[in-house]
Structure 1
Amino acid sequence: MRKCIAGFAMLLALAGGSASAQNVDQVRANLAKLKPADFPTQPIEFVVMFPAGGGMDNTARLVGKYFEKYSGQRVINVNRVGGAGVVGHTYLATQAKPDGYTVGIVEANTVLDGVRLQEGKSTWQHGDLEPVAFVNTDSTTWIVSTEGNLKNKTMSEVIAEMKAKPGTIRVASVTNTMLEYLAEQVETEGGVRTIKVPFQGGSPALAALLGGHIDVSGNFLAEYRGHLEAGKLKILAVAGDERMPALANVPTFNEALGTNKINWSPFRYAAVPKNVPAARKRYLEAAFDAALRDPELLAEFAKNGLDGRRKYATSALVAAEVERVAKGRVEFFSKRVAK
């Protein structure tokens, strides 16, 4: 646990120093050179597919603040909620004007689910949302209580326990979310069977874990950081394709299970409808790039265990990563349906 807290401190230091040399006036001047004569001349709308106060909404508001700082253009957050993100994604892909004034702050898994949950009746595909910037990745994790039966075990040892005692380890599950899919994939890749206990969200699952009513919970780092620092929780594994900087001593599920198929960590990016004029799209890309390099924004991300490193520095790289994630989801859900 001390190593995890040290990881937070290290990440905050890196965030503060990585962009400290960024000269705001110079960045603004460079951005002005890319600005089309007719854009932007009015506020830019950031569309969020989930309610105010949630992780996506908070991220969008933070990014909007720094987008305004460098572009000088006002940003308005609009929450278009419903249907597990389907309402907002459908609006962005099929109804928003492709003029650059509507930008979605989206997450790859929910974009892909937005298509899948329409059961073949979708009027849009994930490629209809064109990336303009990578925003950050989150840390989906499995955690145990430091007072529970698994407190001294590693992720590999927990898998061994699940094999030795099939159908006895109680794992939190939130229906039709990546937390449910993660639990299922651990069972498939690990060749184990658990008791999946349904919850409405991560918060009640965390309360159940702390109360000793379940053995393992899947949560995002920001949800339990205080309990971790208080020594009440231990992190077993991270569901990304690589270790998180803030949790450098915590293995990935892939490491523990000897696979490369598990990646259920949220991957957030900014996207616009297809056919936004090229000059406007380039300006948006540059404005987001400036905002997302700001040391204060990176420090805000780091406080919540969010990884804002520029792993996908161009829109093309973001699009390629979304496509890679999409192929993995097709494989996962085809196996899930076949069961």
Structure 2
Amino acid sequence: MRFPTRWLAVLAATLVPLGAALAQAYPNKPVKVIVPFAPGSATDQIARAFSAKVADALGQTLVVDNKPGVNGMLGADAVAKAPADGYTILVGTNSTNAALKSLMKKLPYDQDTAFAPVAYLGQVPLIVAVNNDLPARTLRELVDMAKAKPGGVTFASASTSQLVSTEMLASMAGVQMTNVPYKSGPAAMTDLIGGQVNLFTADFAVMLPQVQGGKVRGLAVTSSKRSPAVPNLPTVNEALGLKDYELIAYFAVFAPAGTPADVVKRLNEAFNAAASSKDIQEKFAPIGFVVEPGTPDALAQRTRAETAKWAKAIRDAKIEPQ
């Protein structure tokens, strides 16, 4: 009996440190937050503010890493192929987790299965704006200009929402405009102010300061109702007499597929707490950002619905997959 007892003691001594290591609470090292768009973009601003709050809740640093390119595809791909351990997460958008599937002929990952939904952060409308030197003072006048000279009005885009919102507007208004693609929203804004492009439709975080500062002329908002942040701007529907135009940009957190459920739960709780915090809400209310904390399952359902919605919008706008 002494022999097996002795070996049991040795085995127990061996397993104690192993068990202690396995029992270390998540997270026990910094978490990388991939932002698939450029610094200064709405996604970047929201990701950094949320990451600071979540870092406090988790007791670990969240390191924001910008990986812009191909309407967010490069950053999303990096997360899709990262270890499913909760230490690499994506602040995704309607671009990365809904529309890309319809915009690209082929993705380097399966958009429907590559990610584990974590937390919905919120949504924000866009503002349609033009260069100050453009004669058009209203969206109706801009559409008239485009009708008079098909393809003569140029518009910038650096993300799916920016591209689809303008193509959808053009399609519903019966006009043709020329797209000028950019790598980032801030770069597109610089050229709008400078007059290199005529039109740019972008989220409030990028556009509103420039409209309020008089650098560009706001014409309309893309939501179905006017925004309290800019109540003087009509909706696209109001400005053009349409009834079905609406396009909202949204933001959510995703992890690689296969991330443990307890890790997803911990992240969900931390991001929901951040979304519910007074300082986050006060910080982003001026740009029309509406928070909507919820469960991972609710985000999964929303993602499926948004994927179908954006597929229809892209088809209706006659945008060909690249």
* TM category, shorter: 0.7 to 0.9
CA RMSD of aligned residues (A): 3.4
Match of 2:271, SS? helix
Secondary structure at the aligned position of 2:220 is classed as strand
The equivalent position to 1:40 in structure 2, one of 27, 31, 36, is 27
C-alpha displacement at 1:47, in angstroms?
1.9
Cα deviation for residue 326 of structure 1 reads 1.3
Report what 1:130 is aligned to: 116
CA contact (8 A) 1:245 1:307 kept: no
TM-score scaled to structure 1, two decimals? 0.72
Shift of the alpha carbon at 1:135?
A: 1.8
- Equivalent residue number for residue 4 of structure 2: none
Q: Would you identify which runs of 4 or more consecutive aligned residues in structure 1 move more than 6 Å?
A: none
Residue 338 and residue 285 in structure 1: after superposition, are their counterparts in 2 closer, same or farther (change >3 A)?
closer
Give distance in 2, aligned partners of 1:228 and 1:50.
Answer: 22
- Which residues of 2 match residues 1-339 of structure 1 at below 5 A? 38-93=25-80, 95-116=81-102, 119-120=105-106, 122-144=108-130, 148-151=134-137, 153=138, 155=139, 157-158=140-141, 161-162=144-145, 165=148, 167=150, 170-174=153-157, 177-194=160-177, 196=178, 198=180, 200=182, 202-203=185-186, 206=189, 209-210=192-193, 215-231=198-214, 233-255=216-238, 256-263=240-247, 265-303=248-286, 305-310=287-292, 313-335=294-316, 336=318
CA distance, structure 1, for counterparts of residue 107 and residue 214 of structure 2: 48
Instruction: Output the CA distance in 2 between the equivalents of 1:128 and 1:244.
Output: 35
Work out the CA distance in 1 between the residues paired with 2:269 and 2:73.
28
Aligned mates of 1:258, 1:138 — CA distance in 2: 21
Q: Contact 2:129 / 2:220 at 8 angstroms: preserved in 1? A: yes
Amino acid at match of 1:183: T
Are the structure 2 counterparts of residues 130 and 244 from structure 1 closer, same or farther at C-alpha, using a change threshold of 3 Å?
farther
- The alpha carbon displacement at 1:164 in A equals 6.2
How far the C-alpha of 1:322 sits from its partner, in A, is 2.4
- Consecutive unaligned residues of structure 2, counting only runs of 5 or more, are 1-22
Q: Figure out how many residues of one structure are paired with residues of the other and give that number.
A: 296
Structure 1 residue 267 displacement after superposition:
0.9
Return 108-117 or 200-209, whichever deviates more.
200-209
Structure 1: gaps (5+ residues): 1-35
What is the CA–CA distance in structure 1 between the aligned matches of 2:39 and 2:188, rounded to whole Å? 21
% identical aligned pairs: 21
SS of equivalent residue, structure 2 residue 92? strand
For the pair shown, the structure with the greater C-alpha radius of gyration is 2
Contact 2:32/2:87 (<8 A) preserved? yes
After superposition, what is the alpha-carbon deviation per residue over 1:205-255, rounded to whole angstroms, capped at 9, x for unaligned? 545555566654323333344443344544222223544342344333245
How far 1:53 moved relative to its partner? 4.5
**Matching residue's letter, 2:115:** L
